[in-house]
């Protein structure tokens, strides 16, 4: 049962509508906290006195009513022609890009060659008839037979779309938490014909063999309880599963678990023995969400309540942290660090590079874990209703030819980043490791090389703080901004003085430059004695 048409071309997430008032606070429906859109207190709470006005305000904030195709040198955006699709989950596969309209309830398929879109109507989707309602659909994955699977928040389950028969099947999860009504399915992985599922509001890992599943039934779906003893004493409503990922050998699953801004942990689940290994995290890494597994079997994780992403050595549990570029806003006193960039989901491309989206930073980032360089691509669209101006790029997928496809949830658009395009400049450091005493100033020389004509602003961040700022430590460049001609190089010195209140230990400093489209940073390991 389906229909098809061709078209050319984080402290709550529920959108609560009443006749008198609509409260729009963006994020995951995570009760007392938010994974998807932390800092939701910055977002406008829209008041209305009528149902029509409430609907209009919803559309203004979430439907991309005034959105335009805003391309730059690296990113191409594609407007969706149906109004207010609110695309979220996305999958780039061969010459197709699949996405879910969380508002209209269809599975979209963009042909990357001719840019035509087909929309396959999901049989049951309540928000189609509820003007200010949606069902968050975060993950889309293919199985070995070419079927497309995706999560469904409101209906508490997963869907399968069979391309050969043009049909949908639905499999409800046999758990509905009384406080929330849904486990909030968010992340799925396949191991041949076995499917694993994580739900934000579930304390279990869910499992099934697809051959055992029956349409509109929970038969064949079982749970594996997570070892959450270390979260004892924390409000159970705060404890959530972030996501899951499987290693390249298909032997183990990695699971992120968090009580947002309170505590985070990673679990490694051995599929054969069905046993867990627990990895504790430093106290300030209290919001782990996205997971990618590198070729050595080490998990890379985004900490969504901060500006930090990190690697855990799977052998000894050692954590190595990195930061995004700082989130800067202009003020009367010049640019100031303002809050967290909120790195979100993370994935590894065929070359071994790690990609992640910076939700509030409004960027897509590529981290080379071999040479420690971070490249961030600025998304050209900014939504004035979403301070500090974000397109809500909440999910992305790595396609062929180094193309990164992403959804812009509140802009009614898909976007494509050309990751093969040459950068207009690079930054090199003479050394990648330094040692300093607290209160001691060190100099770090670097060279900026221009490939194109470019206007440069030097930038730096650190793991001294969760926001990527330097906190009470001081830092400066010998020259902050300048213009460069093609082929020109410039020597710059970065000075940093670790503060006396900084704890002894290992940190990372990210040093680089940016223009209006891209930033390039080198990572420096700094040991404070």
Give per-residue pLDDT as tens, 190-223.
999 999 999 999 999 999 999 999 999 999 999 9
Give per-residue pLDDT as tens, 443-502.
999 999 999 999 999 999 999 999 999 999 999 999 999 999 999 999 999 999 999 999
Neighbouring residues of 137: CB distance < 8 A, sequence distance ≥ 6: 88, 89, 100, 102, 150, 151, 152, 153
Low-confidence spans in the chain with pLDDT less than 70: 1-49, 328-338
Place of tokens 């968010």: 186
Instruction: Tell me how far apart the alpha carbons of residues 56 and 93 are, in angstroms, rounded to a whole number.
Output: 35
Q: Give the pLDDT of residue 178.
A: 82
- Kind plus residue range of the DSSP H or E element containing 54: helix 51-62
Q: 393 near 378, Cβ under 8 Å?
A: no
User: Closest by alpha carbon to 93, among 150, 135, 153?
Assistant: 150
Give per-residue pLDDT as tens, 270-279.
999 999 999 9
Rounded to the nearest integer, the mean pLDDT of the chain is 88
User: Closest by alpha carbon to 264, among 205, 309, 314, 223?
Assistant: 309
Q: Give the pLDDT of residue 52.
A: 85
Q: Give the pLDDT of residue 338.
A: 63
3 state SS of 335: coil
DSSP state of 238: G
Q: 79 near 66, Cβ under 8 Å?
A: no
3-state helix, strand, coil in the chain (%, to 5): 5, 45, 50
Q: Give the pLDDT of residue 180.
A: 86
The full set of domains in the chain, from first to last, is 62-69+87-418 (2.130.10.10), 425-528 (2.60.40.10)
Pairing state between β 433-436 and 518-528: parallel
Q: Give the pLDDT of residue 329.
A: 62
């Amino acid at each position: 049962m389906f229909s098809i048409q061709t078209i050319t071309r984080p402290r709550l997430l529920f959108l609560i509508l009443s006749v008198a008032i609509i409260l729009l606070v963006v994020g995951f429906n995570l009760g007392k906290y938010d994974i998807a859109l932390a800092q939701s207190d910055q977002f406008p709470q829209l008041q209305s006195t009528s149902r029509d006005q409430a609907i209009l305000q919803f559309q203004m904030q979430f439907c991309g009513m005034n959105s335009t195709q805003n391309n730059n040198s690296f990113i191409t955006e594609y407007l969706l022609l149906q109004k207010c699709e609110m695309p979220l989950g996305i999958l780039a596969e061969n010459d197709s890009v699949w996405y879910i309209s969380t508002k209209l309830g269809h599975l979209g398929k963009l042909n990357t060659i001719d840019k035509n879109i087909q929309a396959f109507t999901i049989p049951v989707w309540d928000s189609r008839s509820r003007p200010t309602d949606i069902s968050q659909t975060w993950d889309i994955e293919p199985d070995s037979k070419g079927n497309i699977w995706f999560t469904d928040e409101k209906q508490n389950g997963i869907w399968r779309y069979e391309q050969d028969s043009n049909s949908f099947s639905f499999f409800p999860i046999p758990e509905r938490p009384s406080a929330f009504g849904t486990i909030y399915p968010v992340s799925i992985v396949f191991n041949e014909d076995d499917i694993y599922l994580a739900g934000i509001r579930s304390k279990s890992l869910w499992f099934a063999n697809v051959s055992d599943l029956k349409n509109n039934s929970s038969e064949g779906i079982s749970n594996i309880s997570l070892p959450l003893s270390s979260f004892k004493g924390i409000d159970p409503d705060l404890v959530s599963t972030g996501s899951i990922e499987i290693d390249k050998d298909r032997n183990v699953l990695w699971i992120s678990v968090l009580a947002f801004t309170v505590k985070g942990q990673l679990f490694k689940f051995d599929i054969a023995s069905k046993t867990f290994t627990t990895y504790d995290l430093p106290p300030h890494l209290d919001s782990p969400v996205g997971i990618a597994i590198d070729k050595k079997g080490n998990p890379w994780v985004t900490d969504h309540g901060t500006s930090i992403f990190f690697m855990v050595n799977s052998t000894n549990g050692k954590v190595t942290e990195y930061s995004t570029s700082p989130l800067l806003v202009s003020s009367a006193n010049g640019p100031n660090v303002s809050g967290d960039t909120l790195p979100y989901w993370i994935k590894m491309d065929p070359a071994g590079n790690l990609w992640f989206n910076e939700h509030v930073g409004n960027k897509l980032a590529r981290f080379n874990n071999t040479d420690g360089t971070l490249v961030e691509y600025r998304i050209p669209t900014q939504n004035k209703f979403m301070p500090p101006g974000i397109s809500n790029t909440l999910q992305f997928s790595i396609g062929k030819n180094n193309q990164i496809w992403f959804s812009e949830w509140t802009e009614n658009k898909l976007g494509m980043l050309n990751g093969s395009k040459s950068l207009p400049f690079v930054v090199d450091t003479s050394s990648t490791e330094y040692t300093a005493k607290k209160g001691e100033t060190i100099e770090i020389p670097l060279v900026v090389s221009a490939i194109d004509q470019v206007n440069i602003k030097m930038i730096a961040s650190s793991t001294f703080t969760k926001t990527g700022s330097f906190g009470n430590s001081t830092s400066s460049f010998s020259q902050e901004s300048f213009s460069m001609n093609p082929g020109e190089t410039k020597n710059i010195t970065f000075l940093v003085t670790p503060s006396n209140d900084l704890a002894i230990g290992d940190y990372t400093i990210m040093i680089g430059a940016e223009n209006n489209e891209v930033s390039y940073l080198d990572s420096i390991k700094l040991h404070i004695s």
